[in-house]
């Protein structure tokens, strides 16, 4: 369960955003809607512990996020959240398999090649195991970054604008991918988007 209460954030240019309180129950997906520049990304950063809010608290599964400091926060995030950014941000000098092993290592989990293979198979890119990121297409890169996000079986999969640059058909495919991965890994989805096409698939929306 996630609860946001009394969150405000003041930008360096002194503009302040007040975010509505929010509760996301377990086993519910949630869509964060808002136009470009409305503060979606800021909210996601606050939600993932990357950006300390000016006031208010973030509670995820009974953990007050900003009570955690430094390395503890990094570790907590690695264990509980799977984050997919707009860009894939894979490490170019490492292969697909190594990129995933890094994710297991830094979350202090045992390296588990079977798990890596399992996730890549679910995403239908296991044949790219030993390829370098530059050898992959955009779509494949996104799949690998989804694979990395779900690898450690996080409670929440958080994605920022995963479909905005795709055509209708591909947007649908990617969304299905997220839903399938969430189901397969028993995780809840939180997707931030301004893409109205996504809206129909989610009962819960949070409008900024």
Q: Which residues contact 71 (CB under 8 A, 6 or more apart)?
A: none
Asked whether position 172 contacts other proteins by CB under 8 A, the answer is no
Q: How far is the CB of 42 from other proteins (least distance, A)?
A: 9
Contact set for other proteins, span 120-149 (CB under 8 A): 148
| Token pair recorded at residue 79 | 């264990």
Distance in Å, CB of 12 to other proteins, minimum: 10
Q: Which is nearer to other proteins, 118 or 132 (CB)?
A: 132
**Any residues with CB less than 8 A from the CB of 125 and at least 6 apart, and which?**
96, 140, 143, 144, 147
- Taking the complex as a whole, the smallest distance from the CB of residue 165 to other proteins amounts, in Å, to 16
Which of the ranges 13-21, 53-61, 85-93, 182-190 carries the binding residues for other proteins, by CB under 8 A?
A: 85-93
- Residue 50 binds to other proteins (criterion: CB under 8 A): yes
List the one residue out of 102, 182, 170 whose CA is nearest residue 146.
182
Calpha distance 143→84 (Å, rounded): 10
Is residue 92 near other proteins by the rule CB under 8 A? yes
Give, as ranges, the residues between 93 and 112 that touch other proteins (CB under 8 A): 93-94, 98, 101-103, 105-108, 111
Residues that bind other proteins (CB under 8 A): 41, 45, 48, 50-51, 70-71, 74-75, 77-79, 83, 85, 87, 89-94, 98, 101-103, 105-108, 111, 148
């Amino acid at each position: 369960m996630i609860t946001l209460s009394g969150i405000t954030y003041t930008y360096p240019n002194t503009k302040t955003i007040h975010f509505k309180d929010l509760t996301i129950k377990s086993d519910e997906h949630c869509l964060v809607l808002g136009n470009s520049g409305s503060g979606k990304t800021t909210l996601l950063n606050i939600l993932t512990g990357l950006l300390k809010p000016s006031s208010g608290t973030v509670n995820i599964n009974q953990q007050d996020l900003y009570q955690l400091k430094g390395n503890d926060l990094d570790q907590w995030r690695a264990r509980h959240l799977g984050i997919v950014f707009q860009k894939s941000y894979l490490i170019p000098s490492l292969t697909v398999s190594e990129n995933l092993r890094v994710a297991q290592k830094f979350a202090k989990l045992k390296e588990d090649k079977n798990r890596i293979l399992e996730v890549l198979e679910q995403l239908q890119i296991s044949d790219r195991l030993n390829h370098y990121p530059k050898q992959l297409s955009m779509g494949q890169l996104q799949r690998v970054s989804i694979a990395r996000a779900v690898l450690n079986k996080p409670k929440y999969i958080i994605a920022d604008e995963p479909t905005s640059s795709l055509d209708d058909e591909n947007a649908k495919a990617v969304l299905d991918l997220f839903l399938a991965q969430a189901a397969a890994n028993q995780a809840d989805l939180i997707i931030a988007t301004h893409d109205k096409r996504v809206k129909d698939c989610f009962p819960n929306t949070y409008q900024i």
